[in-house]
Structure 1
Amino acid sequence: MPTIEDVARHAGVSTRTVSRVLNDRPNVRSEVRERVLAAVEQLGYRPDPNARALKSGRKQIIGIVANAVSSDTTLRRIEIISKLFAHSGYAVLMQFAESSEMEEAAINAITPRCDGLVIFSNLHSSHSPALLMLHNHRIPFIVVDPPVDIAFPSIYIDRRSGYREAVRYLVQRGRQELLLVVESFRSSERIAGFLEGLERENRPFRSNRILHTGKGFQGGVDVAPLVLRVLQEEQIDGILCHNDKIALGLLGALQKEHIQIPEALALIGFDDDNFSAYINPPLTTIAQTGGDVGAYIYEQLKNAIEYGTAIESRTFGTGLVLRASA
């Protein structure tokens, strides 16, 4: 197992310099920092969390409470947060919570073991006794993409503007009659963006232009008969979906009915899941923009734990990833 002394020898610097780099301290020349990090990677060095905890008085553990990991986007964020904290000598404690009640219990259970928490929230109300407890005890935490606005440090994703932009794009491409397919969770943001887009582009809205379905690939398959019925009755030429999984399920069902995508019907998803660029046709999708959410969470939480800085809430935008389906 390589030691910090091994890294120092390999990089040609002192152990103090290695420590400064690993703790992201200032006043280290960029070329020295790069040399130390290269040595860390080549030797496979990992700081001893127990030794660091004894020295700092911290536990060197980050708690992650996750509401669901079915989304590739959520998985990527958790992976990046975990890797960055691991590189900084922190262990990660994961807890899954599929409801608001489970989330409250999970936060209360793991908080005594953690220096800070990342919470992918199920909240349906701005009131949360567990979050209030974290706030009152000055435990650093950040809530990721809560379904409601809350008075605690949070990351928000602006889905509304993404759907508004998608409507604008389709209309400018000559698509005049649009349909929105949503599941129940977080549908209000998508519907609001869809309606705003129609209004801005002077396109009429009809109630049958919003269809509701279940989750995931099966949700796309299940809604296909309703979509086909609307297609028979009206000249629909563009569909926006709740996410990429629903879009893919719907795409397969429509192709079985010999409906050509995008010639007869443009199709847009949301999330930019890993598969989206590799299906036929590749899926145009709405994706989060404005930098890496996982890296931002790591930076904010680590600085709060180690330097006592305030965690800043931030809203990340969304934009179109253009591919052949639309």
Structure 2
Amino acid sequence: MPTIHEVAREAGVSARTVSRVMNDSANVRHDTRIRVRAIAERMEYRPDPSARALKSGRKRVIGIVANAVSSDATARRIEVISKLFNAAGYAALVQFADTSEIEEAAVRDVAPRCDGLIVFTNLRTPASPALDALTASGYPFILVDPPLAVPYPAVRVDRRSGYREAVKYLAHKGRSRFILLIEEFRSSERIAGFREGLAEAKLSFSEEMIVRTGKGFAGGQAAAAGIARRCAAGSADATLCHNDKIALGLLGSLTAAGLRIPEDISLVGFDDDAFSAYVTPPLTTIAQGGGDVGAFIFEQLKNRIEYGTPVESRTFGTGLIQRASA
């Protein structure tokens, strides 16, 4: 790794000038700034994070509090955020919190050790004492995909439109007897989109269409017998699932019971987990943004930390990945 003095010698400037350029300080000529940055990039020079932290008073650490990583999209976001902050000279401190209570404690524990905080939240109430305290102090933070409307900066995923469009797609394919197989958590947006899709397809909704189950592959397996009976009775020909893991648990059990996917019943998941494209048949799924969400979070929080700009909230859309299961 080259030193700041080697970059300075190559650029024909002082080490202090290189430092000013790399820290975006004023009082550096435009042509000098461009030349120094080009040489630093060519030499693959990266400022020493500890030295920058001492000078700026920052810790050069970003905190990430995350609930259980249950989808590839969440894992991709954490990976993208960590790599982008690493490249910008920050270390990433990650702490997992599977309940709202643990999340509150984690926020209080992690925030003082970091320059800013990203919370993949389990928040079950509209407010959080820990986040209220951060807001009052002006501390930089952003929530990722909160399940409720909250008074904090946040990025969200529009599940509602994803399920609406998936129902319309299946209806266009000739399906008319629907099931929505869901977990309890984060179900309201899915149900709302499901009902809107039925209405736009001129199909009636009934409460019997909503089937609740447990988490993950086991949740799909547990629901399979009941869905198979409804399929055999002619009262089900399409199932939209809470996520890909539930969908794949269901797919395996229905296939083992002799049902054909999609001839007897179509299946749609949510998340576009990596393995979903490689099962038989490949799973049609509603994809949520992964890397693009992570890049937005990085940009917002880094600018808040380094330039004091407000953190913006944004809702990201979804897209239907059409494969053979539907």
Q: How high is the TM-score relative to the length of structure 2? A: 0.90
After superposition, what is the alpha-carbon deviation per residue over 1:17-53, rounded to whole angstroms, capped at 9, x for unaligned? Answer: 687468699968999867754642xxxx553221011
Task: Work out whether residues 284 and 325 of structure 1, in 8 Å CA contact, stay in contact via their aligned partners in 2.
Answer: yes
SS for the counterpart of 1:292 is helix
Bigger Rg over Cα: 2
Task: Work out whether residues 61 and 92 of structure 2, in 8 Å CA contact, stay in contact via their aligned partners in 1.
Answer: yes
Moved more, 288-297 or 130-139: 288-297
Structure 1's unaligned 5+ residue stretches are: none
The 1:86–1:231 alpha-carbon spacing in structure 2 relative to 1, beyond 3 Å, is same
Determine the structure 1 residue equivalent to 2:108. 108
Task: Work out whether residues 290 and 317 of structure 1, in 8 Å CA contact, stay in contact via their aligned partners in 2.
Answer: no
Alpha-carbon deviation of 1:74?
Answer: 0.8
Matches within 5 A, 1:50-129: 50-129=50-129
Determine the structure 2 residue equivalent to 1:186. 186
Give me the CA root mean square deviation.
2.6
Determine the structure 1 residue equivalent to 2:293. 293
Determine the structure 2 residue equivalent to 1:245. 245
CA distance in 2, matches of 1:308, 1:8: 30
Alpha-carbon deviation of 1:323?
Answer: 1.3
Answer yes or no: is 1:197 the counterpart of 2:197. yes
The 1:49–1:170 alpha-carbon spacing in structure 2 relative to 1, beyond 3 Å, is same
After superposition, what is the alpha-carbon deviation per residue over 1:44-103, rounded to whole angstroms, capped at 9, x for unaligned? Answer: x55322101111111111111111112111111111111110111111111111111111
The 1:229–1:17 alpha-carbon spacing in structure 2 relative to 1, beyond 3 Å, is farther
The 1:159–1:8 alpha-carbon spacing in structure 2 relative to 1, beyond 3 Å, is farther
Alpha-carbon deviation of 1:263?
Answer: 2.0
After superposition, what is the alpha-carbon deviation per residue over 1:145-166, rounded to whole angstroms, capped at 9, x for unaligned? Answer: 0110111100111100000000
The 1:249–1:38 alpha-carbon spacing in structure 2 relative to 1, beyond 3 Å, is farther
Alpha-carbon deviation of 1:8?
Answer: 6.8
Alpha-carbon deviation of 1:235?
Answer: 3.8
CA distance in 1, matches of 2:243, 2:317: 16
Matches within 5 A, 1:164-313: 164-289=164-289, 292-313=292-313
Q: How many residues align?
A: 321
Task: Work out whether residues 145 and 155 of structure 2, in 8 Å CA contact, stay in contact via their aligned partners in 1.
Answer: yes
After superposition, what is the alpha-carbon deviation per residue over 1:268-297, rounded to whole angstroms, capped at 9, x for unaligned? Answer: 100011111111111111112597000000
Alpha-carbon deviation of 1:171?
Answer: 0.5
Q: How high is the TM-score relative to the length of structure 1? A: 0.90
Alpha-carbon deviation of 1:206?
Answer: 2.4
Structure 2's unaligned 5+ residue stretches are: none
Determine the structure 1 residue equivalent to 2:163. 163
- Identical columns (%): 58
Task: Work out whether residues 163 and 193 of structure 1, in 8 Å CA contact, stay in contact via their aligned partners in 2.
Answer: yes
The 1:291–1:188 alpha-carbon spacing in structure 2 relative to 1, beyond 3 Å, is same
Determine the structure 1 residue equivalent to 2:145. 145
Alpha-carbon deviation of 1:190?
Answer: 0.6
The 1:230–1:13 alpha-carbon spacing in structure 2 relative to 1, beyond 3 Å, is farther
The 1:32–1:127 alpha-carbon spacing in structure 2 relative to 1, beyond 3 Å, is same
The 1:3–1:197 alpha-carbon spacing in structure 2 relative to 1, beyond 3 Å, is same
CA distance in 1, matches of 2:181, 2:72: 20
The 1:8–1:135 alpha-carbon spacing in structure 2 relative to 1, beyond 3 Å, is same
